[in-house]
Structure 1
Amino acid sequence: MIHPHIADALKVPDLVRLTDGLVLIRFESMKIYSALAAVRRLLERGTVRPGQTLVDSSSGIYAYALALACHRYGMRCHIVASTTVDATTRAQLEVLGATVEQVRPSRNLKLDQELRVRRVREILADRPDCHWMRQYHDDVHYLGYHEVADRITAAFPGRPLALVGGVGSGASTGGIVERLRATDPSVRLVGVQPFGSVTFGSQDHHDPEAIIAGIGSSIVFDNVRHDLYDALHWIDFTHAMAGAVALLREHAVFAGLSTGAGYLAAMHEARRHPDRLHLVIGADTGHRYVERVFARHAEALNPAVLKPVEISGAGELAMPWSTMAWRRTPCPAEWKERAA
């Protein structure tokens, strides 16, 4: 197939069998699916017009995806970038034509996200012609992942499935499983969270080592549909690092921290549910984690000896790794009130 634009080629994931019960959905950059479909639908609706400026905040993956989508569809792009966006990503964004401003370094995830959202609102007040993509809140970002689900269905017809991935904005895991369950309601969804994320109640637990970009949040995301998830895993930096290094060492897959965390969770889930094929989302490559993760590979823990604490409620959360049966429960009302 000859693709009309590089974004159409980069978005397609590879399915890589890691074990008999575990397959990696390996993306070059996962959110390209989301951004392409969202921009296309907004243009079709007339919500935005060609040449208009699209703005959003990002910790890196979505920024790159939106810049590619804008390049693909003739839009302008403005990114309010997290402190986690590295120089390599920023340079690509700028060459692609995006304007980028990076918020000042922050003590934690909450302050970083609050600064970015505040800045986006300031931009919209000054430039009302800009359109805020609202990747965390507009369900238009679910659409692109339906294509991923169709690819999975075609590859594994009739297999009992479980999907494992970082929760983040909710759109990737939610969009894929929503489509899969249209034909098989039994598909399990296992979400992965970092400690410190408000989404599933771990905001009082501080991981001193790092922010695992893209899979947690300090603010409520409307795109997270809690009642889609069957189980949750909370994983700290050291365990995510162990998973990422093991994935490279054992399977030659160079992927980011969220993939490492998902790999660790998926191995545990596959042992507990050997009747299912577990699909773990590999959202991006490991390039932005070279210094902080892969250069320290000698420090990485051995995943074979790691296991989570089984808990029955968020009040029992314990670092470095906890897991809980969520059973497709809606978000507790008190969580929303406390976050507000």
Structure 2
Amino acid sequence: MRDRFKLFSCCIPVKGYLRSTLYDLQRKNYLFIPNSLFDILTNHTGKTFDEVLQLVDDDEREQVEKYLTYLLGKEFIFLCAKEDLECFPPLTPSWESSAEIDSVIIDINENSNYNYAIIANDISRLRSKVIQLRIFSIKGKQEIAGMINVFSKTDTKSLEVIFPNKEGVSVEFIKEIIDKNSRVTSLFIIDSPNKELSDYKQATVRYTADKITSESSCGIISKAYFDCHLNTYCESQNFNTCLNKKIAIDVNGIIKNCPSCAQSFGNIRNTPIRVAMEHPDFKKLWGISKDQIDVCKDCEFRHMCTDCRAYIKDPENIYSQPAKCTYNPYIAKWEDEEGYVSVEECGTYSREKGFIVDDKKVEALNMALWGA
């Protein structure tokens, strides 16, 4: 008899301080659930609905039954026979990559004067999956086209390009770039009004009125950058979702983990990338996962979110919260939402112990906000 519930292996609950999130890694979306339901889904999978309902208080049974019925209807859970439970093992969240470097960031402005062809040749040997070319300022559209052409000759799978809206950067110009460079998968035109073209062939094309003039625009934590995806979830278990297997070259040719990071590993003009990678500190940030980072480890979004180790609240603490994060997981509020208070108002920072939550204060805040 099919009366035992199980989560689909791609549907994974992640517990936060105030609430939990049910990740659907196949459909790439998520659902908020109360922490009490998280406990049921993780501790009582394989039971019947009736068995679960006997475990909860009388005044909670109707609500729990509604939740389970909803999850069944939306295909987050399914029913199977008791003897078949072992036929549906959970997801094994392992992550590995055959590439030495998965992503490369190259920053360029009008003062950058290193040899792009040499860099492209050096990068090709790494077999990176993604190259992101960030052109902050440049003379004109032909120079932009020339740079894209150089880096599209590498063996990367994806070339993402950010560049300013210079005179002559028309829809026709963008189409020409994509037509001539099959590795271009994303074009992001900054300091630009909206245009008609949004996607063309293999590439996504986006416009923004924002003026991005330097690496200081990095590190923003936003819902817009969430990635509820199997690869991100698995990588985030043991690695940093921003810096793992990443290398960057800033506008001056300095090799770093990220252009915004302070530590450098040589200059591309006289230091081959492989030599820079042999520095004992080069990989030290790769293994800092969200479960280790202050505040992030209490957040229900932590395994779909990016990170930043360059801009952090306490530069002396490698596990400090990203400074540009505007979400407070202790009250489940973003900065632009009514009732928001900062994380700092929910506890204290300690150099030795990290962030310490003031549970009584948070309880009072949530009582005022949510009535519970």
Higher helix share: 1
Of the two structures, which has the highest relative contact order with CA contacts closer than 8 Å and spacing of 6 or more? 1
TM-score, with structure 1 as normaliser: 0.28
Task: Select the structure of larger CA radius of gyration.
Answer: 2
